[in-house]
Structure 1
């Protein structure tokens, strides 16, 4: 079965579908670094299928350059990743490219379309920080671009993912319009809030998942059973070597545990990458120690107003009081990973006081359930953005497996 991924990001949603046995037709993503990440992941799957993963691992170890990796797979495969902004201006070009792919591969039908338009315009935090409540943000209307693809390719089913704030954007009008447009192009539609933690992801991450199916097809919204993995957040931290701020050291120090094996996050021959973290000034590290100590003392969360005056740099003591937050290692779920981690690490402080730093790129990826063999292209900041914006692959796989069952 095949799919098209719109607003693909770094490919978290896509990777879940590939893991469930789907084949991608095309990925469309406007961010250059995320598009390169998709290309690199495509290389991984091609080389795995052809038993040449040694080439991919050489790239991860820095033994070959990106160009050599990309030259190791057919060029027509990498051209299915389109670094394009989806808009009225670009849609005809994208349609032509997809049509050519379908013709070249002899595919006469698209099974599923997946994706989630950028969520900043719908996010409650984003709206609270914008003086116009994001009312004028053009991203409010990107759902119309998604619906254009539904109308053209008429897949059996689709998955549209977004933040819970989409329900209340523009006083609820946006959500009503989205559903109405989807029905207008021939779909029965249902929306549910789903939590990544119910799919075995060690993160409390609620998202609105809209699933649609062709009218008259007899399909329905899948039923998802909650998975209890009997794990805590520390299970994705303790096998990685301790780091000081600003360090990178890609070593495992403990064997694969049950959760890492079950989730597929770590496999036997993995080459670890991205275990790198940012530097911190001494004032921030002092705050981190206080935050970690508070959490260790009865799971207390440090509020900004709890800080001694000498450590306060913001005059705002009315909102965002939880701006310093420790990653809770001894409970089953972390708090929600967000792209803001690219700007500072205050909201994701490593729980081990002896390290006293924000989490590494690889630790962030693991919270999102990305496997260790997933390589993110671009500088550290770009990697954090891609990870923070992603759909957890493990959640995506759970959704994809149910859809595959229904379509088989």
Structure 2
């Protein structure tokens, strides 16, 4: 216990970043997150990790296989320390004092070794800036790094990890990123950053992210070199064992339809049980399904994306043929998925299943697998909330490699 490495996760979301650090052996003291449903997911997962440490995971599997209500599950196997450690309060202003007080009680005079997190990225993302008439200049989320810094100042961790989108580098011609780094350095941290490709960590999607790491000045720490996964895998390896679905079909708990694959075994995605949860697809109207079918055929036959202007007139719903013409996108079954984002919670047009025999968008479980969440990771709050949490998450496989390399030095 003396060698415990304690961490706080800020802007936690559903806990993709945290999952990687817990799996690497770090000890979570607190998660701070504004979204109540994401907080429910965090609490459920923390109870899972507690039961896993006690060799009692069957109790967790009874819950996610719907043999027990969530209320009974938390009452029997949760505890106040876990529920208090998930802090559902917006970071910033006077709220910080409340959050600090809660964390101090959880710490019991121990030290924080690490702070991790990535503030909401909409204000930095290229898409967000393009959609906003002021290009996000007046968005308060631009300055959430200052709130992150207040936690660094209070808890003086040895190391911190700040994850965000590549647009952070170019926002306001680089001013935000430059100011951010200056701000962190004033608090006594050396820092460096790289742009990482998620597929180098085994994640089956093209996702580019800034990984900024800071460490206390004067300490023997260097920015890690991450091990690269050299094997090439394709999305087909995470779709082939799941049951076929119709649009709107609900397989909240179902058996696997086919044997596992090399990828699912190697990266421990299909882990520990003979059933899978949340393999549910959103319903679609007939017009969208006709469009999906055209998009699927075009992609599978010619590797070409469907452009909105190319649709038959009877399938078009608006006259704007210049903006967002690529809103219908099929997932590449023979390669990597395009980046998973939170918009998948609003519609599935950008994540169409790559098969004319299953004309639909991705299920919750398929989206979770593309983000490298293990199959026993359960998202609370229903289908839409699950999609939002998945789209906003840091892939756990990526997080785990970062965690292992930091742990080696700490």
TM-score range for the pair, normalised by the shorter chain length: over 0.9
Aligned to 2:310: 306
> Is contact 1:229–1:259 with CA below 8 Å preserved after alignment?
no
- The 1-side partners of 2:224 and 2:356 are apart by 43
Aligned to 2:65: 61
Aligned to 1:183: 185
Q: Secondary structure at the match of 2:229?
A: coil
- The 1-side partners of 2:264 and 2:287 are apart by 35
Q: Secondary structure at the match of 1:310?
A: helix
CA deviation profile, 1:234-292 (whole Å, cap 9, x unmatched): 10011000000000222311122111011111024254111001111111111111111
Q: Choose from 356, 363, 382 the match for 2:366.
A: 363
> Is contact 1:201–1:367 with CA below 8 Å preserved after alignment?
yes
CA deviation profile, 1:347-370 (whole Å, cap 9, x unmatched): 000001111000001100000000
- TM-score, L = length of structure 1: 0.97
Q: Choose from 381, 384, 392 the match for 1:389.
A: 392
Aligned to 1:42: 46
Structure 1: gaps of 5 or more residues: none
| Post-superposition offset of 1:74 | 2.3
- The 1-side partners of 2:393 and 2:303 are apart by 28
> Is contact 1:271–1:373 with CA below 8 Å preserved after alignment?
no
Bigger Cα displacement from structure 2, 316-325 vs 357-366: 316-325
CA RMSD of superposed structures (Å): 1.1
> Is contact 1:294–1:300 with CA below 8 Å preserved after alignment?
yes
Structure 2: gaps of 5 or more residues: none
- The 2-side partners of 1:225 and 1:67 are apart by 41
> Is contact 2:344–2:350 with CA below 8 Å preserved after alignment?
yes
Q: Choose from 351, 363, 377 the match for 2:380.
A: 377
CA deviation profile, 1:102-121 (whole Å, cap 9, x unmatched): 11xx52x2111000001111
| Post-superposition offset of 1:171 | 2.4
- The 2-side partners of 1:138 and 1:74 are apart by 35
Q: Secondary structure at the match of 1:280?
A: coil
> Is contact 2:29–2:103 with CA below 8 Å preserved after alignment?
yes
> Is contact 2:202–2:229 with CA below 8 Å preserved after alignment?
yes
| Post-superposition offset of 1:55 | 1.3
Aligned to 2:220: 218
CA deviation profile, 1:133-158 (whole Å, cap 9, x unmatched): 11111111111010001111111111
Deviating beyond 3 angstroms after TM superposition, the runs of 4 or more aligned structure 1 residues are: none
**Structure 2 residue 335 is the aligned partner of structure 1 residue 327:** no
Count of residues paired in the alignment: 403
| Post-superposition offset of 1:78 | 2.2
> Is contact 2:256–2:274 with CA below 8 Å preserved after alignment?
no
**Structure 2 residue 119 is the aligned partner of structure 1 residue 114:** no
